[in-house]
Amino acid sequence: MRYLKEVFSARELLANLTLREIRGKYKRTIFGQLWSLANPLALMLIYTFVFAFIFRVRPDKGDPSGLDVFALWLLCGLLPWTFFANVVNMGLASLVTNSGLIQKVYFTRIVLPLSMVASAAYNWIFEMGVLIIALIIVGAWVLPWIPLVILIMLLLAIFAAGVALMLSIANVYFRDTQYFLTIILQLWMYLTPIIYPSSLVVAQSARVGGLFGTSITVSDIYHLNPMQHFVEVFRNLLYDNRFPDLGEWLVCTGWAVGSIVIGTIVFRRNERNLAETL
Amino acid sequence: MTEIAVQVDHVSKSFRLYHERNQSLKSAIMRGRTSVHEDFWALDDVTFDVPTGSTFGLIGSNGSGKSTLLKCLAKIYFPNKGEITPFGRIAAMLEVGSGFHTELSGRENIFLNGSILGMTKKEVTSKFDEIVEFSGVEQFIDQPVKNYSSGMYVRLGFAIAINVDPDILVVDEVLAVGDAEFQEKCLQKFRDFRTAGKTVILVSHDMGSISTMCDQAAWLRNGQLVVAGPADSTIKAYTDSFSTGSGDPATSGDTEG
C-alpha cells in the first residue's frame, strides 16, 4: 500500500517522462505524429495483400455488423498487438537506457517502464481513433461499444505493463532478454489470431483430435495464450459489434491482474539494487 | 550539541568484486552460476552525525568511500548494514543535468529535470524565473539544449538542482563548473543556504574550498571513519597524515598507530 502511494505521488514525474518520450520521439521529423500511423498502415497493406489476396484467408462476416473488409478486420487485432509489442520492447529497454539517471538521481524507478507504457498508449489511442473512424465510415455500429473498448484497452495496457516490468528487471541481469524477446514476440504474434481467424485453428484441432492419446487438443493449448483472448474481445467489440463472452472478459481481467501483481512484486524486490547492477 | 540533520549509524556497504560474471543466460547456465565474487567493504561501520545548519565536508583520498557514502545519502545505494536517517528533505546533486533530453528546449528540460529531482510543477513554475536567471541562459531558454555550450548546459543543470530547496543538500565535486563568476554565484548560494539554517554535505578534494566553506568535516580512509568533528582539526589531521606517511596513499592500509 505504501508503495502504491509512493508511485502515486510520482505521477507528475511520470507525466513529464512520458511527455519527454512523446515530444522527443518525432522531433525534427516533417510528418511528426503521423509517423506512428505509418507502421500499422504498412503492415496492413502487406498482410492484406499476402493473406487476403494470395492465401485467400476469409474471416467470418462481422456478426451482427455484417462487415466484410479484411483490412479492418486485421487492424482490429493488429493494433492491440503492436501496442503490446511496443510496450514490452520499450519497457524492457527502459532501465538500461536510463542507467545514467538511475545511478545519479533518486526517484521512484518504476516510473521509467511505466512512462514507456504511457507513451506507447498515447500513440495507440491515436491509432485506435483512426480505426474507429474508418469502421464508422464503412458502416459499423461502434459508438455504443466505445466505453467497453476503453475498458479492454485499459486491461491490455495493465497486462502489458506487468510483462514489461518483469522483463525490464530481467534485462538488467541478463542482456540476452532483449534478443530473446524479439524471437518470442515473432512467434507469439503468429500464435495469436491476428492475420487469420481462430476458427481455423479450432477446425483443424477438431480434425486432429486429442494429442498423444490424451484429451488435450491443439485448441486447448492455443487458448492458453492471453493475447488470443484480448484480440477476440477487441474483434467482438469493434468488428462484430457485439458483447464478448463473459468468460473472455474474466480471462483477460485475470491475466491483467496476475501480470501487474507479479510484475510489481518482481520490480520492487530488485529496485534497490538497480544502481549497482546496471 | 545542536540538532542533528543526518544521522549516519553504523553504516556498512559492500560491493561484489567479480572474478567471473555471467551476464548472459548461456554462460550462466553453462557455468551453473551467475557469478563468482568476493565482498569488498567500501564502507565499514561508519558512524557520525551531521549537525543541522552546518556545512559538512567529506574528505579522504581516492577510493576511501566518500562517493559511496554520498550515494548512500542520496538513496541511490542502500547500506547493507546500519541506517542513515535524514531529518528533513534531502536533495542530492551528484551530476548536473542528468536526465536532460537534448532535443527538448531548456524550458521543457527545467520542468522535466525539476520533477526528476522531486519538485512539483507548482514549485518549478514559481521558481522558473529564478532558475533561468541564475543559470544565465535567458536568451537561449527556448533552444534545444543540444545547442548549448557545455558551460551553459552545466549551469542550467546546477541552477535547477540548487533551487530544489531541500533541508539537506548533498553535493559531489560539482563546484568546479562554470567560469569564475558563476562559481562565485554558487558559493554565494551555499552561504545563503547556511544562513537559512540548512545543511550542506559536500565532497571535495580541494582542501582550500573545504576549509573556507565547511565548519564540520569527516575523514574517511579505506571505508572507515578516521575522525569526524570541526573542519579545521579534521583537515589538519588529514593533511598531516601525508607528511608522516601514515594514512595515505590508500595502499598503505592500516599501518597507522
Q: Is the ipTM of this complex over 0.90?
A: no
Residue A50 is predicted with a pLDDT of: 94
The confidence band for B254, taking pLDDT boundaries of 50, 70 and 90, is: very low
Residue B239 belongs to what domain range? Answer: 4-246
The answer to whether residue B37 sits within a structural domain is: yes
Please indicate whether, in this complex, the C-beta atoms of A101 and B98 are within 8 angstroms of each other: yes
Nearest to A275 among B76, B95, B98 (CB): B76
Average pLDDT on A201-218 reads 84
Are B140 and B106 in contact, with CB atoms under 8 Å apart? Answer: yes
Q: Name the closest residue on chain A to residue B18, using Cα atoms.
A: A277
Residue B176 is predicted with a pLDDT of: 62
Residue A257 is predicted with a pLDDT of: 97
Question: CA A238 to CA A37: how far, in whole Å?
Answer: 19
Residue A78 is predicted with a pLDDT of: 95
Q: In total, how many domains does chain B have?
A: 1
Say whether pLDDT at A36 is over 60: yes
Proportion of chain A above pLDDT 70, given as a percent: 100
Say whether pLDDT at A207 is over 70: yes
Q: Name the closest residue on chain B to residue A25, using Cα atoms.
A: B103
Please indicate whether, in this complex, the C-beta atoms of B92 and A103 are within 8 angstroms of each other: no
Q: Name the closest residue on chain B to residue A24, using Cα atoms.
A: B103
The confidence band for A154, taking pLDDT boundaries of 50, 70 and 90, is: very high
Q: What is the CATH number of the domain that holds B182?
A: 3.40.50.300
Are B92 and A105 in contact, with CB atoms under 8 Å apart? Answer: yes
Nearest to B98 among A13, A27, A105 (CB): A105
Average pLDDT on A67-94 reads 94
In chain A, which residues touch B (CB < 8 A)? Answer: 12-13, 16-17, 19-20, 23-24, 27-28, 100-107, 173-177, 180, 272, 275-276
User: What is chain A's mean pLDDT, rounded?
Assistant: 91
Higher pLDDT, B178 or B179: B179
The confidence band for B255, taking pLDDT boundaries of 50, 70 and 90, is: very low
A9, A12, A173, best to mutate vs chain B, most B CBs in 10 Å = A12
For residue B33, give the amino acid letter: R
Most confident segment among A79-93, B79-93, B159-173, B185-199: A79-93
In chain B, which residues touch A (CB < 8 A)? Answer: 15, 23-26, 28, 34, 71, 74-78, 92, 94-95, 98-99, 101, 103-104, 108, 111-112, 115-118, 120-121, 144
The answer to whether residue B253 sits within a structural domain is: no
The answer to whether residue B127 sits within a structural domain is: yes
Please indicate whether, in this complex, the C-beta atoms of A176 and B26 are within 8 angstroms of each other: yes
Identify the DSSP state of A143.
G
Non-local CB neighbours of A265 within 8 Å, separated by 6+ positions? none
The answer to whether residue B148 sits within a structural domain is: yes
B23-54 confidence digits (pLDDT tens):
777 777 777 766 777 788 888 888 888 888 88
- CA torsion B185→B187→B192→B196, rounded to 10°? 150
Say whether pLDDT at A215 is over 70: yes
Lowest mean pLDDT segment, chosen from A16-30, A125-139, A176-190: A16-30
The answer to whether residue B130 sits within a structural domain is: yes
Kindly list the residues from chain B whose CB atom is less than 8 angstroms away from the CB atom of residue A272. 78
Average pLDDT on A139-151 reads 92
Say whether pLDDT at B249 is over 60: no
Residue B248 is predicted with a pLDDT of: 45
Average pLDDT on A155-166 reads 96
For residue A258, give the amino acid letter: G
Most confident segment among A4-8, A91-95, B100-104, B138-142: A91-95
Say whether pLDDT at B93 is over 80: no
- Backbone region of residue B143 per phi and psi (left: phi > 0; alpha: psi in -120 to 50; beta: other values): beta
Average pLDDT on A66-90 reads 94
- Backbone region of residue A276 per phi and psi (left: phi > 0; alpha: psi in -120 to 50; beta: other values): alpha
A163-206 confidence digits (pLDDT tens):
999 999 999 988 889 999 999 999 999 999 999 999 899 998 88
Please indicate whether, in this complex, the C-beta atoms of A24 and B120 are within 8 angstroms of each other: no
Residue B2 is predicted with a pLDDT of: 63
The answer to whether residue B77 sits within a structural domain is: yes
Is A119 exposed, middle or buried (CB count within 10 Å of its CB: 0-12, 13-18, 19+)?
buried
Residue A20 is predicted with a pLDDT of: 84
CB atoms within 10 A of CB A214: 8
Cell matching residue A149 = 473498448
Question: CA B16 to CA A276: how far, in whole Å?
Answer: 9
Question: CA A89 to CA A163: how far, in whole Å?
Answer: 10
B38: nearest Cα among B70, B16, B20, B62: B16
Q: Name the closest residue on chain A to residue B172, using Cα atoms.
A: A104
DSSP string, A58-114: -PPPPTTT----HHHHHHHHHHHHHHHHHHHHHHHHHHHHTHHHHHH--S-TTHHHH
Nearest to B115 among A13, A24, A177 (CB): A13
Nearest to A12 among B76, B104, B121 (CB): B121
- Mapped onto helix, strand or coil, the DSSP state of residue B71 is helix
